[in-house]
Amino acid sequence: MRRIGIILLLTALSSARVLAYNDHRGHNLDSLERVVARWTPDAIDLASTRELVDLNRAFRDLMLGYSALNGEKCAFYARKALSVSEPRGWEEANADAFRYLGQCFWASEKYDSSLFYYRKALSAVERMAEGATSPTAPEGYSELAIDDTRSALYGAIGNLYNMMDSIPQAMDWYGKAGAIFDKYGWNQSNAILYYNIGETWVEQGELRKASQAYERAMEYAQGDSLMVAMAQKGLGRVYMEQGKSGKALKHLHKADEYFSSHDKEELTFTKENYEYMSAALLTQRKQLILIAIGAILILLLFLAVLLIGKKLRRSRKEQAEVSAVLEETIQETRRPHSGEDIPQVSPREKEILDLLTKGYTTPQIAEGLGLSPETIKWYRKKLLVKFDVANTVELTSTAKDLGLI
């Protein structure tokens, strides 16, 4: 419903460019009703043309005034206006009244009836184009008046199809209205139209088309701050739907610059923009939290990989050490020796002997050489066997006596 409201404003005001209505919306409706109530059927039959024109205008003023206040009264006065204009062939007045009847039925969701009256309005416009006259247009209607009435009808019919979710038909009628706006350079009307189209495409999930429509709305706005702000709000909504909260906030902040300084005039739009900004900020905060969590997980994964790599390297080193010790042990068992032979020690064994002599403990030697404590214990036991001693003290003493350290 929200997307329809703006273009209804367009269709309500477009004919005012030509007809210069006395706008009684929101004030003096009661007094105007008292004036028209004096016109009985007999009085109407005796009225002059000038009086009938004024009466028809009064009925239409009431129709326009009640359009946003009371649908039943709007329809009542539209029919009263037709009672004057239709028998006399005043086609511009007929088209206007039929259109408002269509809008009344549209508002009550009686779409078939609404389309029926819109089509009657279109027929009246065609008769205008064919040369119909009226007391207000004795030489016929100008092309401007005809196109102005047409554009209002095209927008209204587009809204009707939009409401029925017949989007292709709606866009076709909107396109016809936009062509007339382009013809006369009615850029503000086109800005409103394309904003409305953007809102429709967002609700249809067609975000690329919505973005294009909002961009065109800004192009047509040409300094109209309200419509620029509305289009910026629309673009912010598109980027929100795409999950791009940063870009969304950029456009929503621009819209907020206008709405914040016109909060009394544009309260509804300000509230809507604020809600979008709040949602975008919340989404951005969630995204930042997810990014932070992701970064932490990546860091932990990196540290885990480093730790596993370190353990693998140590494991490979120890495996090589064990293989070397086993090979050396095998060779020693094959080599004959006497009790007087000086034990043969490998470079690693001599390194460990040196550290044991200096008083280093098994954990300290393991840490220094990058081996596990179990491997160092294995080397110590092997050295005790080689030197035929019972403990480390005897081991280091014997090694010194033999000149190995």
Rounded distance between C-alpha atoms, residue 31 and residue 303, angstroms: 83
Residue 71 has a pLDDT of 87
Residue 30 has a pLDDT of 87
Residue 402: CB partners within 8 Å, gap ≥ 6? 342, 343
Q: What stretches in the chain show pLDDT beneath 70?
A: 1-27, 263-270, 274, 280-281, 314, 317-341
Crossing angle between the packed helical segments 347-357 and 392-401, to the nearest 10 degrees: 110
Which whole-number Å values give the CA distances from 154 to 31, 110, 345, in the listed order?
33, 18, 103
In this structure, the number of other CB atoms found within 10 A of the CB of residue 138 comes to 7
Residue 8 has a pLDDT of 43
Q: Do domains 2-288 and 336-401 have the same CATH topology?
A: no
CA neighbours within 13 Å on the CB side: how many for 337? 13
- pTM for the model stands at 0.64
Nearest CA to 155 out of 99, 207, 74, 199 is that of 99
Residue 34: CB partners within 8 Å, gap ≥ 6? none
CA neighbours within 13 Å on the CB side: how many for 391? 1
pLDDT single digits (tens) 23-53: 444 457 888 999 999 999 889 989 999 999 9
Residue 18 has a pLDDT of 36
- The CA-to-CA distance between both ends of the chain, in Å, stands at 96
**Per-domain residue ranges of the chain:** 2-288, 336-401
- CATH code of the domain made up of 336-401: 1.10.10.10
Nearest CA to 111 out of 165, 73, 153 is that of 165
Domain 2-288 architecture: Alpha Horseshoe (1.25)
Residue 14 has a pLDDT of 44
Residue 15 has a pLDDT of 40
Rounded distance between C-alpha atoms, residue 150 and residue 196, angstroms: 18
Q: What share of the chain is helix, strand, coil (3-state, %, to 5)?
A: 80, 0, 20
Ramachandran region, residue 28 (left: φ > 0; alpha: ψ -120 to 50; beta: rest): left
pLDDT single digits (tens) 134-184: 999 999 999 999 999 999 999 999 999 999 999 999 999 999 999 999 999
CA neighbours within 13 Å on the CB side: how many for 177? 31
DSSP state of 342: P
pLDDT single digits (tens) 336-351: 444 456 788 888 888 8
Rounded distance between C-alpha atoms, residue 304 and residue 297, angstroms: 10
Show the DSSP H helices in 130-224 as ranges: 143-163, 167-184, 187-203, 207-221
Q: Which uninterrupted H or E stretch holds 347?
A: helix 347-357
Long-range interactions of 177-181: CB distance < 8 A, separation 24+? 177/151, 180/147, 180/148, 180/150, 180/151, 180/154, 181/151
